[in-house]
Amino acid sequence: MVGQQTQLPLNPPPPVLRVIDDYGPVGKGVSQAHFVLAENLQEYMVKGPSLVPTHPHVAANEYVAARLAQTIGLPILDFTVVELAGELCFASAWMSRGTFYPETTEALFDRCENRDRLYDLVVFDAWIANIDRHAGNLLVREVRPRGAENPRRQLLCNDHSHCLIRPRERANVLKSRLDAPPRDYISISFVINSITEAARLTAALDRVGQIQDGTIGAAIAEMPATFVPSAPERALMQDYLLERRDRLATIFRTHRATFPRLKGQL
């Protein structure tokens, strides 16, 4: 484990909102997400096992990733839980067209104000076994503040349906990923080449290493029961996150060659 654990706050769990209008499938992605309007009159993209039976852990993956990303301060979309046709689903805030880029290029990444958060994102993806951080899921949002000449662009942590337990898998597969190298989860060349400062990478590893056992346990325990097929699988998810957290710094040191431009000692 990296350093000594400290108590990091976990915000109260989000409320459960009823869906008052289902606009139907978004139209892309294996999660078969729907676009809905909730009773708070906010629009969301929702994912759940009732929408994609071949991926019974999709909502659990999204929920746990969002809660843990929130805990270490990664920028994420607002999220909640909604009730759709009598079933509970994970819901993330809908992004209007024109407020984000469908794909992130190196040039666009270089214009992001918070591109230093990439260190946290790389460590986070390696922790939660996220295989889906491709250029379309390395999200950049753009907002033009009132009276400003130029837009502001921020990197955002988004879409975790393919972390932890993937489609058609059972939770017992997680033990095979405890020592998986970072390269299994980091594939974008300009991301790899942007990891250059060992001190920043160490700090990102420390932030994950300092997440307390109880914080991880709370993120798992507070999920709706229907998000995970069984209690033993819920326990296996928690055990993986705890054990992987404790191995992560050693794994990055062992596989530092993943980042050819990294300078300094991990």
- Cα distances (Å, whole numbers) of residue 234 to 54, 58, 230, 237: 18, 13, 7, 5
3-state secondary structure 14-39: CCEEEEEEEEEECCCCCCCCEEEEEC
pLDDT at position 141 is: 94
**pLDDT (tens digit per residue) in 63-73:** 999 999 999 99
Higher local confidence (pLDDT), 82 or 138: 82
CA atoms within 13 A on the CB side of 59: 30
**Phi/psi of residue 212, each to 5°?**
-70, 150
pLDDT at position 6 is: 44
Q: Residue 213 is encoded by which pair of tokens?
A: 């056992």
- Answer whether residue 189 shows pLDDT above 80: yes
In this prediction, residue 11 has a pLDDT band, given cuts at 50, 70 and 90, of low
pLDDT at position 198 is: 98
pLDDT at position 27 is: 82
CA atoms within 13 A on the CB side of 166: 11
**pLDDT (tens digit per residue) in 81-121:** 999 999 999 999 999 888 999 899 999 999 999 999 999 99
pLDDT at position 8 is: 46
Instruction: Determine which of 3-12, 132-141, 179-188, 193-202 has the lowest per-residue pLDDT on average.
Output: 3-12
**pLDDT (tens digit per residue) in 21-62:** 999 999 877 789 999 999 999 999 999 999 999 999 999 999
Higher local confidence (pLDDT), 157 or 198: 198
> Residue 203: which H helix or E strand, with range?
helix 198-209
- Ordered by where they begin, the domains of the chain are 16-258 (1.10.1070)
- Answer whether residue 148 shows pLDDT above 70: yes
Handedness of CA 189, 191, 197, 203 (dihedral sign): negative
Task: List all residues 6 or more positions away from 194 whose beta carbon is below 8 Å from its beta carbon.
Answer: 109, 115, 118, 261
Instruction: Taking residues 188-216, report their average pLDDT.
Output: 96
CA pair distance 20, 16, nearest whole angstrom? 13
